[in-house]
Amino acid sequence: MILAARYIAPVESPVIENGAIRFRDATVVAVGPSKEFDVGDEERVDFGNAVITPGFVNAHTHLELTHLAERVAPSPDFTGWLTRLVKTSSESLPTKESVQRIVTDGIFQSHRAGVTTVGDITRFPAWTRQALSNSMMRAVSFGEVIAVGTRRHLLQERLAAAMKTEFESELLRCGVSPHAPYTVEPNALRECARRSVEQLTPLCIHGAETLEESEFTCEGTGVFADYLRSLGVWDDDIPIAGLAPIPLFEASGLLTDRTVLAHANYVCDDDIHCIGENRASVAYCPRTHDAFEHPPHRFRDMLDAGVNVCIGTDSLASNPSLSILDELRFLHQMFPDFNSQQLLEMGTVSGAKALGLQDRVGSLAVGKDADLAVIPMESKGDWHEMFSSATEPIAVLSRGSFVVDNR
Ligand SMILES: [Zn+2]
């Protein structure tokens, strides 16, 4: 099959005007100028005034919170928001059916937005992975580990669930997510890191998300200590790490080239250097970052330091959509001088690298899987005007099959 459009943005090679892409089964076999394509009896679809991009990679999300859209408004009071989140999500007891219904809705919304790969965190790995495996969504599914205070005994049980590979497939890879430095004690962070290294498993952790996090890891005090008390999980045996989050992660062996560090909103120069040295990736969540009114994110300093910065939406509990294209458009609006090519990289190949999937997806190149999105243009302008328009993908393909087809 051949898809043609006014622009092809392969990401790892220059944008092609009047381009086409050919794939057989799931795999891309040619990308280039349309006129070089000899059609024969092959099916050919010409999308006209549109840009064909790789499928977008949402490097950080929680599909199982999709039902919380507009129910827990984010505010600068982060632990207040977390408390409301926990309360709202436990209003009804999660069941296999309810979780799978919610995750499936999240997959549907993601596909519609052109997202073909997710780094997804789940508290219910078996249920979520079954739902993912029934879809065409490519995923690294991070099983969440919480092990603090009266819940520290959950470590091995949660780790075992996270590491279980029963639903692994061509599209689904399992990973582990120690939740955050205030919900996982230092020895448990080390254990998650050790298991991840031992089994070459991807790892994701929320880190340096708020300023107060550092007070907790350094002193064991502040709003996160109050938060743990309010949940009834506090006990006096909770150890104090005595380090700020990024040094704590490094000392725990958590920063490797298989690590996605979600947020990293509060980092100093040394932290950025440390993340880069250890080749960990940062998942910046622009609209969630904005909703919590954090100071400007240092993603450009990170990029300058050679850090792999990718983009996440986080969940619908803090973000208006599961669209990476919406995140990129938001960034374009905030930073009009920022290079469009680099912007597209952050939403595609950088996410693929962060999730260890760069050999398969993230760019349009021969040998990679045919995961792609077709974005209609509003004007006859240059390809990067896709970032200043508001169009939805007209078609989305995962491994060469249409998952969205609004032709
Ligand atoms: Zn998150």
Give residue-wise pLDDT tens across range 151-185.
999 999 999 999 999 999 999 999 999 999 999 99
Asked if residue 65 lies in contact with residue 315, where contact means CB atoms within 8 angstroms, the answer is yes
Rounded CA separation 29/368 (Å) = 8
Residue 385 DSSP symbol: G
Residue 206 CA to ligand 1 center (angstroms) comes to 6
Confidence at residue 273, expressed as pLDDT on a 0 to 100 scale: 98
Burial class (CB in 10 A: 0-12, 13-18, 19+), 232: exposed
Residue 253 DSSP symbol: T
* Confidence check: pLDDT of 272 > 80: yes
* Average pLDDT across the chain, whole number: 95
Residue 238 CA to ligand 1 center (angstroms) comes to 23
Is there a shared CATH topology between the 2-54+363-405 domain and the 56-354 domain?
Answer: no
| CATH entry 2.40.10.500 includes domain 2-54+363-405 | no
Residue 315 CA to ligand 1 center (angstroms) comes to 6
Q: How confident is the model at residue 89 (pLDDT cuts 50, 70, 90)?
A: confident
pLDDT cut 90: percent of the chain above it: 90
State the DSSP string of 29-80. Answer: EEEEEGGG---TTS-EEE--SEEEEEPEEEEEE-GGGGGGTTTS---S-HHH
Residue 271 CA to ligand 1 center (angstroms) comes to 20
Residue 404 CA to ligand 1 center (angstroms) comes to 26
Residue 234 CA to ligand 1 center (angstroms) comes to 22
Distance of CA 323 to the CA centre of its chain: 11
Residue 288 CA to ligand 1 center (angstroms) comes to 9
Residue 62 CA to ligand 1 center (angstroms) comes to 6
Residue 198 CA to ligand 1 center (angstroms) comes to 25
Residue 64 CA to ligand 1 center (angstroms) comes to 11
Nearest to 136 by CA among 175, 97, 110: 110
DSSP-derived 3-state class of residue 330: helix
The full set of domain ranges for the chain reads 2-54+363-405, 56-354
Write out pLDDT tens, residues 350-384: 999 999 999 999 999 999 999 999 999 998 999 99
Confidence at residue 187, expressed as pLDDT on a 0 to 100 scale: 97
Q: Give whole-number Cα distances, 358 to 81, 82, 192, 364, 397, in Å.
A: 35, 33, 24, 11, 17
Residue 308 CA to ligand 1 center (angstroms) comes to 18
Residue 209 CA to ligand 1 center (angstroms) comes to 10
The hierarchical CATH code for the domain 56-354 is: 3.20.20.140
Confidence at residue 74, expressed as pLDDT on a 0 to 100 scale: 82
Residue 262 CA to ligand 1 center (angstroms) comes to 7
Rounded CA separation 14/19 (Å) = 11
Residue 207 CA to ligand 1 center (angstroms) comes to 10
Residue 377 CA to ligand 1 center (angstroms) comes to 32
Write out pLDDT tens, residues 123-145: 999 999 999 999 999 999 999 99
